[in-house]
Chains A and B, each alone.
Chain A
Amino acid sequence: MKKHRFWFFLLILLWFFAFFPKTSWPQMVLGQYEDEAPLRTWNTFGITTGASLGMGKTQFTLGSDCTVSLTNPSLLTKLPKITFTVNSSFNIAQLYRYSIVNTGPLYTRENITLGLYAFDFAGASIRLKNWTLALSMSLIESYDRPRAQDEYDPGGMVLYRLRFDQEGNLKNFNFSIARKLFGNLSVGIGLNYAYGRLEKDFSEHWTTSAIIITDSKSHKFQGFYINGGLVWELADKIDVAAVFRTPFVKKSDSKSILRYLSPGGDTDIIIEASSRDEYKQPLVAGLGVSYKFSPKLRAASDFTFYNWSKYRVNYFEEELKRDFKNIIKVGAGIEHSSSRRIFGQEVNIPLRAGLIYDPQPMKEPDSSYFYLSLGSGIHWGKFLFDLAVMLGRESGSGNSLTASKVALSFSFLV
């Protein structure tokens, strides 16, 4: 009966996640105005949970929940027999330049601060003899942009109105399998189906002449890729890992409608287009290492290579220029655990700190984020609660953008 409750609970949450992935206001890419730029950083790979964020986003050698299936599935072998995890995050980020904002018709004198709430992961894993299986859904990228509106209203009467809005996201369905091979070597592989949408709407309205210009673009994405990795316990104290994500083509069914409507002149000009676009996503490869100083103290570091120089965009039958360079993202963190008795039960309380260096792929401007992260949690029997905060600042664009993130994850272990 307990097992049935668990699976029922899991299904309800998976269903909830699948149909109500709520994102509100997101981020942008520095110094560029590409619509397809993901939230805050181009360098997405997996999901950052409360536990990993606190340790500088290290995920390749350490894992306490099934989010590892998105980065290094081999770590699934180290999890308890059954796990269930949900994660949510809240981002506060500044942005300066995106789409028509600060590139032409609209400009601001300062950075724009935005917030994003995302319920971004739900998944479960189960170990069956030598094999561990995991199933998850996640929200891996957001393409939302802050809405913009400009009005000209001398004397309180609106004569002109401009509106811009863009929203979208990329979700990921992952099935992973892992097993211990021999000795202390584990391997794992994940099959991923990514799908999502991006909708961008722009309108201009001259109220006196009733002239309306609208420009709507919509994209439906889908793509398939494989991720995998291995982890090797070199000694009792040292683990090393290697991970990869294959390059893949994010295909898009795209539509565009540009319209000029002037009832006074009986004019209705429509230029429609549809195309099969392609976003050739780059190979991601990484190395990780962790060291256990003592049973209560451990440290980890991840190095992630993004092959952005191979990034290509074919957009409405035109190859768009993306002058990108390969980058290596680095994260490092340390964790100290202590035990307390709460309500008569032994509770493990980890304290974490980390640093992240996250260079962006654009050659111009040469921009990077530097983050400091802090985290903690409560590991209480079969329940894990992890919370982390990340604070960062960007340099290179000249706009000194700040970014912060709060991640909260909950896991149930059997």
Chain B
Amino acid sequence: MKIAIFFMTTLCLVFIPLKARDYWNTEIISVAKDQDTVKKILEMDLDLLMEWNNRIYIIVGFNDFLKLQRENIPYALETFNFYPYQQREVSLQGGLNGKYHSYAELERELLALQDSYSHIARVIDIGDSLEGRNIYALKISDNVYQDEQEAEVFFVGCHHAREWISVEVPFLLGKYLVENYETNTQVKDLVDQCEIWIVPLLNPDGLEYSIHFYRYWRKNRRDNGDGSFGVDPNRNYGYNWGYDDEGSSPFPSSNVYRGPSAFSEPETQAVRDLFEQRNFQAVISYHNYSQVILYPWGYTNQPTAEEQLLDQIAADMSGVMQSVKGTVYEYGQAGADLYLTNGDTTDWTFGTYGIPSYTVELPPIDEEHGGFFNAEEDIQPIFNENLPAMLYLIDWTVQNFISGIGPSTRREQRYGPRANLKDKTQFGREARDEGEDNAPAQNYKVNYNDPKTSGVNSNTTDVRIKKNRIYK
């Protein structure tokens, strides 16, 4: 009996403080965005997170709750929107790659999501890799088997085989959206108003090689015929492909080999073909490492005509990411702030379709802290801090969507007839001389100079990239 009492007491002593510590943690709440409320919360000096869907999101502690109650301001608890509703371990993994997904594991999980949430999730094979693996897209939307006149946004991961975390973040976004659709009104609103396309694994052959043979493998598995293998898919897109030999390499053995021609690789062809069929309004391509948000141009250090918009969205995304747990994602123009890249995804999507396009370089921040490695236990936190930015961009596309303007219209607004675009695509070097940076600015967007979240990241740091990084 004495022993039982001793153990019960010990257990209580262990658990009570743990519970107490968690209870008064910070929470995220939302309040209605009306004039009176805004005035009150500004006076309270609260930690404002973002503005979304006509509500203001605030990070609050225990004392902040008391202040809100004193002022009789109604609020809704939103913390669960910023973390996965069910904080479960990623299932099925446990092989050589630990909790990271291999091709087969991802295939199983995507199909399982489709089976479980067939009304909002659909898995589509958008092409085959060189070694015959399927390149899967997960489409999430209401009426998922219909093409509706809705905003469309594209998330893609794992252009580079060794960047395992870049598979997980877009995949977990898909999982989060479908698992929270029924219980979270904001998620439901986004899914209902948008077609969200997620390609978590663009380079499956490279990933398998990275898992089984050489962890630091980067490119796809093209046999170049000279003893070397691989084309860098993120140097193989058709906008200013091969612009110079600094932003990509003509040498097959190089880690940034751009391939024999633009879109020579089935992986990039799959993305190109998908864009031909869809009407995307925004893009994020996930990579690691560096912990930065990059926007076009990558092939030159000259800014785009839409620098202000691209920079503002990046700033807002960085702000909401930082607010989760303080992780700073610097942001800036890729070519000016990091290193030159030509033939990459975002130059192509922006240059061809004129849509906000971002490369998010996920953690760690540098080689000393892991380089292309992340610990398994970092997967969920990295996703958690990226989730608000993803939701923000989806919301941005919804808010800025104008029905009826498709990619061809947008291209023509930007470049003129389609034939000219093909010329640019096929002859990247010549395209450089045509001065596409001088093309008239796109005029299809609403709120061009009035991004919805401007000013809400008041408690985050300006994290614009200020120094060049060495390309690994």
Contacts and interface: CB of A to CB of B under 8 A. Distances in A.
Interface of A: 33, 99-100, 102-105, 107-109, 202, 204, 209, 211, 213, 215, 217, 256, 258, 260, 262, 264-265, 267, 269, 271-273, 275, 316-319
Given A267-B369, A269-B370, A104 B97 contact: no
Chain A interface helix/strand/loop/mixed: strand
Interface stretch (B37-45, B210-218, B384-392): B210-218
Given A100-B213, A273-B95, A316-B95, 8 more contacts: A104-B213, A104-B230, A107-B227, A258-B96, A262-B369, A262-B371, A269-B375, A271-B100
A211 B215 contact: no
A258 B96 CA distance: 8
Contacts of B76: none
B373 interface: yes
Residue of A105, A202, A256, A258 most packed against chain B (CB within 10 A): A105
A40 B209 CA distance: 23
Contacts of A209: 367-368
Interface string B84-111: 0000000000111110101011000000
B214 A211 contact: no
Contact of A211 (B100, B213, B371, B374): B371
B94 A317 contact: yes
Contacts of B227: 102, 107-109
A111 B197 CA distance: 46
Interface string B190-229: 0000000000000000000100011111000000000111
A215 B215 contact: yes
Given A267-B368, A273-B94, A316-B95, A103 B375 contact: no
Interface residues of B, number: 31
Contact of A213 (B216, B230, B374): B216
Residue of B214, B366, B375 most packed against chain A (CB within 10 A): B214
A258 B215 contact: yes
Nearest to A106: B214
A183 B169 CA distance: 74
B436 interface: no
Nearest to A264: B368
14 contacts: A103-B209, A104-B213, A105-B216, A105-B217, A209-B368, A213-B216, A217-B96, A267-B364, A269-B373, A269-B374, A271-B376, A273-B96, A318-B102, A318-B104
A262 B366 CA distance: 11
Contacts of B228: 107
Nearest to B103: A318
A196 B213 CA distance: 22
B98 A99 contact: no
Nearest to B228: A107
A260 B95 contact: no
Contacts of A109: 227
Nearest to B132: A321
A319 B230 CA distance: 24
Nearest to B102: A318
Contacts of A273: 94-98
Contacts of A107: 227-228, 253
Interface of B: 94-98, 100, 102, 104-105, 209, 213-217, 227-230, 253, 364, 366-371, 373-376
A202 B214 contact: yes
Contacts of A316: 95-96
Nearest to A214: B215
Contacts of A103: 209, 213, 229
Nearest to A319: B104
B367 A33 contact: no
B96 A213 contact: no
A100 B373 contact: no
Residue of B97, B213, B229 most packed against chain A (CB within 10 A): B213
Given A103-B229, A108-B227, A265 B216 contact: no
A265 B95 contact: no
Contacts, number: 85
Contact of B209 (A104, A265, A319): A104
Contact of B370 (A100, A202, A262, A318): A262
Given A104-B229, A105-B214, A318 B371 contact: no
Contacts of A104: 209, 213-214, 217, 229-230
A204 B100 CA distance: 21
Nearest to A263: B368
A399 to B, nearest CB: 11
A100 B373 CA distance: 20
B96 A262 contact: no
Nearest to B366: A265
A211 B372 CA distance: 12
Nearest to A102: B227
A31 to B, nearest CB: 11
A213 B210 CA distance: 13
A260 B370 contact: yes
Nearest to B95: A316
A95 to B, nearest CB: 14
B378 to A, nearest CB: 9
A9 to B, nearest CB: 46
Nearest to A99: B213
The 5 tightest CB contacts between A and B, nearest first, are: A265-B368, A316-B95, A107-B227, A271-B98, A260-B373
A298 B12 CA distance: 88
A99 B100 CA distance: 22
A265 B370 contact: yes
Residue of A204, A264, A271, A275 most packed against chain B (CB within 10 A): A271
Contacts of A102: 227
A108 B226 CA distance: 10
A271 B371 CA distance: 15
A146 to B, nearest CB: 16
A204 B96 CA distance: 18
A33 B213 contact: yes
Nearest to B368: A265
A317 B113 CA distance: 21
Contacts of A217: 96
Contacts of A260: 370-371, 373
A193 B368 CA distance: 48
A248 B215 CA distance: 32
A112 B99 CA distance: 37
Contacts of A108: 227
Residue of A103, A104, A108, A209 most packed against chain B (CB within 10 A): A104
B134 to A, nearest CB: 13
A315 to B, nearest CB: 8
Contacts of A99: 213
Contacts of B102: 318
Contact of A262 (B97, B214, B367, B375): B367
A262 B364 CA distance: 13
Contacts of A269: 370, 373-375
A260 B213 CA distance: 16
A317 B95 contact: yes
B95 A211 contact: no
A104 B215 CA distance: 11
Contacts of B217: 104-105
Contact of B368 (A105, A211, A256): A211
B277 to A, nearest CB: 30
Given A107-B227, A258-B96, A275-B95, A267 B370 contact: yes
B401 to A, nearest CB: 41
A35 to B, nearest CB: 9
A209 B253 CA distance: 24
A265 B369 contact: yes
B370 A271 contact: no
Contact of B367 (A204, A211, A272, A317): A211
A103 B230 CA distance: 9
Nearest to A262: B368
B32 to A, nearest CB: 45
Nearest to B224: A107
